[in-house]
Amino acid sequence: MADFEGAPIGFIGLGIMGKPMARNLANAGYDLVISNRSRDDVDTLLAEGDHFRAAANPREVAEQTKAVITMLPDSPDVRDVVFGEHGLLSAMGPGHLFIDMSTIAPAASIEVNDALTARGARALDAPVSGGETGAVNAALSIMAGGGAADFARARPLFEAMGKTIVHVGGPGAGQIVKACNQMVVAINYAAVSEALVLGAKAGVDPEKIVQVLSGGLAASRVMELKGANMIAHNFQPGFRIDLHRKDLGIALATASANGVPVPAAALVAQLFEALAAAGSGDLDHSALVTAYENLAHFQLGGAG
Amino acid sequence: MADFEGAPIGFIGLGIMGKPMARNLANAGYDLVISNRSRDDVDTLLAEGDHFRAAANPREVAEQTKAVITMLPDSPDVRDVVFGEHGLLSAMGPGHLFIDMSTIAPAASIEVNDALTARGARALDAPVSGGETGAVNAALSIMAGGGAADFARARPLFEAMGKTIVHVGGPGAGQIVKACNQMVVAINYAAVSEALVLGAKAGVDPEKIVQVLSGGLAASRVMELKGANMIAHNFQPGFRIDLHRKDLGIALATASANGVPVPAAALVAQLFEALAAAGSGDLDHSALVTAYENLAHFQLGGAG
């Protein structure tokens, strides 16, 4: 708890993920200076106890803290919090650590890192996976890019929020690994979807498919956790299609920037586009199976 | 052990999979009448003990048994064993059970089933997953299609060879589920391959990618069991690309016959075609990652 010279921790971005992450830091004993575009989420936390106090904008957060965590929707949001009119950049300097846990473009992470290190501050990109459940249960996987000493300094904070905590490389490496993660999850959804729709339309009970395939090399966490929901058309998010679509956009751009063809990820990204176009962007990403149902003109036995 | 009126069990097809499966039946106390195209494999088992005796051809196997198991490479092999010159069809009748554990086209399974039931015999399609390791350790997943009473009768035999044993539906349903299984495994390989090649070419240690992704929703059995081999280019089979390519051909034909587009499976099947064309058909299917390396003009840190 005595990290960062006893100073409170800044936390900017109190959405579905950020709020429970901030709560877990408070539960671990940290005092937090919080800021959020919509004031309601700030008030919610302020009402929960004296571990929280509010700042008017990112710069004020940075002025009162030695470490600032951000958990924001996309690259432009992070850029705005750092470089914007009341951004934190001018308040960061030697001894300050910026920890961006958002999922954004690796190039944007590196840009932010460069700007902060030019002022003598330090930065980590530390995106997470595990979704709202992982955030609530302090069970996130955290993939951190940046310097080893900075990672060591941030580790107690990560341990208050996550379970699998890995330093994956230098600046931007966390975002690279997160992009890989989102590709794999999307492609594994495609795999389960194709199996369920083929099997069911060919007359097999899809629950039997999940049962047998889970016993062998075809097993995946997606099948285990989401197979039954896909069959039952239970698409309450969870993690929304719109966000996964955004993450696949980052992954495809990153792949292209690195000269790496990723045809399966590109294919699945197109199916997410189709779902977004059809107005399904607010459903859980497991609703990818409905894109396959539409293609096959066939519905699984769900409520949908 | 007293199943099938104390008669021995027939076993035809003593390859990489069939031999250990026959051994596990013998270890469970069954006597086996065996037959194989190449005589060497028959002699190997005969030398192992008096649970085995040889028959000259499939018909002679059927004449001496009440249940015949086949474990053959492809649909034409099964057709030949059933319908060929010394095929078992003419020796099968009431009380006889044919259990085909090969992976073949569902349509071929149904054709065989129809011919046998027309003679008063019974048939199950019961393909497996789990590979050579699963066969050796009696830990196969067995997905059986056919009648419930026939499945119940065969269950003790399955229990000598497998661990996850599921009656998935009527005739051909086992092959449908196996086709689904092979699609999922192939697509999950594509997912891991795209992540490893993108991450590594972008400068991240691929072992870190496996480590972090295994902690979350991206986790899969393929990543867990094969990720390290893919990074190290350890492509000793295992399950050969040529066989997985054959299985994907069955899956795509089955999907087309049922009016189900399976774009991700079709994409990965094309990459297996490319590997076969390049002479890599004898490598383990985890060598799918080399197709991605070729596309990206980049090699993981392996020995390859």
Report pLDDT for A194: 98
**Residue of B198, B210, B221, B229 to mutate, interface with A, max A Cβ within 10 Å:** B198
Which residue, of B137, B170, B203, is where some domain finishes?
B170
Which residue is closest to B209 within chain A, CA to CA? A177
Of B125, B151, B170, the one marking the end of a domain is: B170
Distance CA B78, CA B100 (A): 8
pLDDT in the model for residue A223: 98
The mean pLDDT value of chain A amounts to 95
- Asked if residue A220 lies in contact with residue A184, where contact means CB atoms within 8 angstroms, the answer is no
d(CA A9, CA A68): 6
Burial class (CB in 10 A: 0-12, 13-18, 19+), B158: buried
Domain for residue A303, yes or no? no
For A198, residues 6+ apart whose C-beta sits below 8 A from its C-beta are A296, B176, B179, B180, B183, B251, B254, B255, B258, B260, B262
| A75 and A199 fall within a common domain | no
How large is the average pLDDT for residues A14-19?
A: 96
Residues A47 and A121 placed together within one structural domain of the fold: yes
Q: Do B261 and A292 touch (CB under 8 A)?
A: yes
Distance to chain A for B180, nearest Cα, Å: 5
Q: Which of A204, A223, A265 sits opposite B194 (nearest CB)?
A: A265
> Is the four-CA dihedral B87, B89, B90, B95 of positive or negative sign?
positive
Would you state the pLDDT for residue B6? Answer: 74
Residue B74's Cβ-side half-sphere holds a number of Cα atoms within 13 Å equal to 11
Length of chain B counted residue by residue: 304
Q: Which residues of B are catalytic?
A: 178
Q: What is the mean pLDDT of chain B?
A: 95
Tell me the chain B residues in contact with residue A181 when contact means C-beta distances shorter than 8 Å: 195, 212-213, 216-218
> Left, alpha or beta for A47 (phi > 0: left; psi -120 to 50: alpha)?
alpha
- φ/ψ of A164, rounded to 5, equals -95, 110
Residues A121, A194: one domain? no
pLDDT band at residue A296 using 50, 70 and 90 as cut-offs: very high
| Two tokens, residue B171 | 């005739």
Say yes or no for a CB contact (<8 Å) between B217 and A129: yes
Tell me if residue B116 falls in helix, strand or coil. helix
A304 inside domain: no
Q: Residue B301 domain-assigned?
A: no
Please name the residue that has the structure tokens 């997470």. Answer: A128
Q: Using the 3D structure, point to which of B108, B142, B170 is the last residue of a domain.
A: B170
Chain-chain contact of B264 with A194 (C-beta, under 8 angstroms): yes
Cis peptide before A84 (omega within 30 of 0): no
Which one of B260, B270, B300 would you mutate to disrupt binding with A, by most A Cβ within 10 Å of its Cβ? Answer: B260
Q: For residue B279, is it left (φ>0), alpha (ψ between -120 and 50) or beta?
A: left
Q: Which residues of A are catalytic, by number?
A: 178
B124: closest CA of chain A, how far (Å): 15
Does the pLDDT at position A5 exceed 80? Answer: no
Quick: pLDDT tens for A79-88: 999 999 999 9
Residues of chain A found within 8 Å of residue B268, distances taken between Cβ atoms: 264
**Cα–Cα distance, A12 to A42 (Å, whole number):** 10
Query: Is the Cβ–Cβ distance between B121 and B93 less than 8 Å?
Result: yes
Distance to chain B for A54, nearest Cα, Å: 33
Co-location of A165 and A20 in the same domain: yes
DSSP state of B216: S
The residue among A161, A165, A175, A184 with the most chain B CBs within 10 A of its CB, best to mutate, is: A184
Whether the predicted pLDDT of B303 surpasses 50: no
Instruction: Report which of residues A20 and B1 the model is more confident about.
Output: A20
| Residue B304 confidence (pLDDT) above 70 | no
Does pTM surpass 0.90? yes
* Cα separations in angstroms, B230 against B131, B133, B272: 17, 18, 15
- Nearest CA-CA partner of A69 in A20, A2, A118, A106: A20
The predicted complex's ipTM stands at: 0.94
Inform me whether the pLDDT recorded for A8 exceeds 80: yes
Chain A to chain B Cβ contacts (< 8 Å): 262
Helix (H, G, I), strand (E, B) or coil at A38: coil
In a domain, A54, yes or no: yes
**The predicted structure's pLDDT at residue B196:** 98
Determine whether the interchain pair B173/A131 forms a contact, defined as Cβ–Cβ distance below 8 Å: no
Question: What is the per-residue DSSP string for A260-293?
Answer: ---HHHHHHHHHHHHHHHTT-TTSBGGGHHHHHH
| Pair (B58, B203) in one structural domain | no
Contact A260 B198 (CB under 8 A): yes
Q: Is the domain of A89 the same as that of A62?
A: yes
Specify the number of domains making up chain B.
2
The answer as to whether A56 is a domain residue is yes
Alpha carbon distance A206, A304 (integer Å): 16
pLDDT digits (tens, 9 = 90+) for B218-266: 999 999 999 999 999 999 988 899 999 999 999 999 999 999 999 999 9
Q: Give yes or no: residues A161 and A185 share one domain.
A: no
Q: Could A181 and B295 be called an inter-chain contact, meaning their C-beta atoms sit closer than 8 Å?
A: no
Q: Which of B189, B73, B145 is nearest to A212 (CA)?
A: B145
Q: Is A126 part of a structural domain of the chain?
A: yes
Pairwise CA distance, residues A192 & B246, whole Å: 20
Interchain proximity A180–B130, CB inside 8 Å: no
Q: Report the CATH number at residue A201.
A: 1.10.1040.10
The partner residue sitting opposite B194, judged by closest CB among A212, A215, A262, is A262
DSSP per-residue string spanning A166-197: EEEESTTHHHHHHHHHHHHHHHHHHHHHHHHH
Q: Cβ separation of A188 and B268 shorter than 8 Å?
A: no
Contact B198 A217 (CB under 8 A): no
Residues A159 and A186 in one domain: no
What is the residue whose two structure tokens read 């990672």? A151
| Confidence label for B7 from pLDDT (cuts 50, 70 and 90) | confident
The span from the CA of A237 to the CA of A302, in Å, is 17
User: Shortest CA distance to B288 belongs to which of B304, B301, B270, B275?
Assistant: B275
Residue B139 is predicted with a pLDDT of 95
Q: Taking CA atoms, what residue in B is nearest to A168?
A: B208
| Domain extent at residue A218 | 177-296
Q: Are residues B188 and B269 in the same domain?
A: yes
Element (H, E) at B92: none
Helices (H), chain B: 18-27, 39-46, 58-63, 75-83, 106-118, 131-136, 148-161, 173-201, 206-213, 221-232, 241-257, 263-277, 288-296
State both tokens at B15.
């390859």
pLDDT of residue A22: 98
A114 and A261 co-located in one domain: no
Q: Given B143, B187, B219, which is nearest A190 (Cβ)?
A: B187
* Residue-wise pLDDT tens digits, B75-134: 999 999 999 999 999 999 999 999 999 999 999 999 999 999 999 999 999 999 988 889
Name the burial class of residue A55, with classes exposed (0-12), middle (13-18) and buried (19+) by CB atoms within 10 angstroms of its CB: buried
**Chain A residues whose beta carbon lies within 8 Å of the beta carbon of residue B185:** 217-218
Residue A21 lies in a domain: yes
For residue A302, is it within any domain?
A: no
CATH number for B157 = 3.40.50.720
Residue of A nearest to B127 (CA): A212
Which residue of chain B has the CA closest to A299? B260
Same domain for B181 and B152?
A: no
State the pLDDT confidence band at A301, using cuts at 50, 70 and 90. Answer: confident
Contact B202 A264 (CB under 8 A): no
Same domain for A141 and A66: yes
Closest CA to B93 of B137, B62, B128: B62
- The pLDDT tens digits for B187-210 are 999 999 999 999 999 999 999 999
Residue A303 pLDDT exceeds 50: no
